[in-house]
């Protein structure tokens, strides 16, 4: 069926909350067996328990910035549900600073979590996909990977890099039954945006409502994107019926980036 993933193993990084948890839910609803990963075991366990009525779900702690942690987590996931057929690289982290106050540590952290982490995970998942001649890789990037934003140069650089990785790998595997795409949310109602709001309030003295309005102003719909809206875009790219979608970067941002 073009809109089902029955029996396929999907692994979602950063799956304990926000967009990742929403992605896990929609993939379960479409028949996948889902492994969620992340650094917070408490969040992973709570989300898995909440979603368990929808289908087979497991959780494994994983730090995408560590190659050893990724290898260990994928081994555990494969032992439970078999090879990963659908990989959603959702784990991410955002930090803001003017360019001249961006430390090397901050720069490397943004690259490690937002770019190298996806590289680690793809390296673990791709061999089995190529062997099966079927696979879906969806990288959750950001509109920051499609355009520039001030005061987040390290984050923008990492997300631009993730889109470059998406496009390059998509061409490499195009004839091998595997598709590679990116979804690029605008400001979405998640912990990352809540942290951004708190940062604006602390640094400018604006109210929380004013800070939220400032972030939403760039969206022509004048609102924050919802996690479920991002999850639905990701799920569509994972479906068998989306086999002609490859190397694309789909903005989920109300028309902010076209």
The residue among 65, 67, 143, 69 whose CA lies nearest residue 110 is 65
Secondary structure E strands in 31-169: 33-38, 57-61, 86-89, 135-140
For residue 98, the tally of other CB atoms under 10 A from its CB is: 10
pLDDT, tens digit, for every residue of 175-215? 999 999 999 999 998 877 777 778 888 888 888 888 888 88
**What is the reported pLDDT for 75?**
98
**What is the reported pLDDT for 1?**
59
**What is the reported pLDDT for 124?**
98
Q: pTM to 2 decimals?
A: 0.94
Residues annotated as catalytic are 155
Q: Find out whether 125 and 84 touch, Cβ atoms under 8 Å.
A: yes
**CB within 8 Å of 129: residues ≥ 6 apart:** 83, 84, 85, 135, 137, 173, 177, 178
Q: Which residue is associated with the tokens 């791709």?
A: 126
* Residue ranges, the chain, pLDDT below 50: none
- Is the domain covering 9-93+110-186+225-252 a CATH 3.40.50.2020 domain? no
- Give the domain ranges of the chain: 9-93+110-186+225-252
């Amino acid at each position: 069926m073009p809109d089902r993933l029955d029996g396929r193993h999907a692994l979602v990084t950063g799956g304990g909350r926000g967009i990742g948890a929403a992605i896990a839910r929609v993939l379960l609803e479409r028949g996948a067996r889902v492994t969620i990963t992340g650094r917070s075991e408490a969040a992973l366990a709570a989300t898995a328990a909440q979603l368990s009525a929808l289908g087979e779900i497991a959780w494994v702690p994983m730090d995408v910035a560590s190659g050893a942690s990724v290898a260990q987590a994928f081994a555990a996931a494969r032992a439970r549900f078999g090879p990963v057929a659908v990989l959603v690289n959702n784990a991410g982290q955002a930090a803001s600073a003017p360019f001249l106050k961006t430390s090397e540590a901050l720069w490397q952290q943004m690259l490690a979590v937002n770019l190298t982490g996806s590289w680690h995970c793809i390296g673990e998942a791709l061999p089995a996909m190529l062997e099966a001649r079927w696979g879906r890789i969806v990288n959750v990037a950001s509109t920051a990977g499609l355009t520039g934003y001030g005061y987040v140069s390290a984050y923008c650089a990492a997300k631009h890099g993730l889109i470059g990785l998406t496009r390059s790998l998509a061409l490499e595997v195009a004839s091998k039954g595997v598709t590679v795409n990116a979804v690029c949310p605008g400001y979405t109602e998640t912990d990352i945006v809540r942290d951004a709001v708190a940062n604006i309030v602390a640094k400018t003295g604006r109210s929380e409502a004013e800070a939220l309005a400032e972030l939403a102003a760039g969206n022509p719909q004048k609102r924050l994107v919802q996690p479920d809206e991002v999850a639905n875009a990701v799920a569509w790219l994972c479906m068998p019926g989306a086999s002609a979608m490859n190397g694309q970067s789909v903005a989920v941002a109300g028309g902010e980036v076209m």
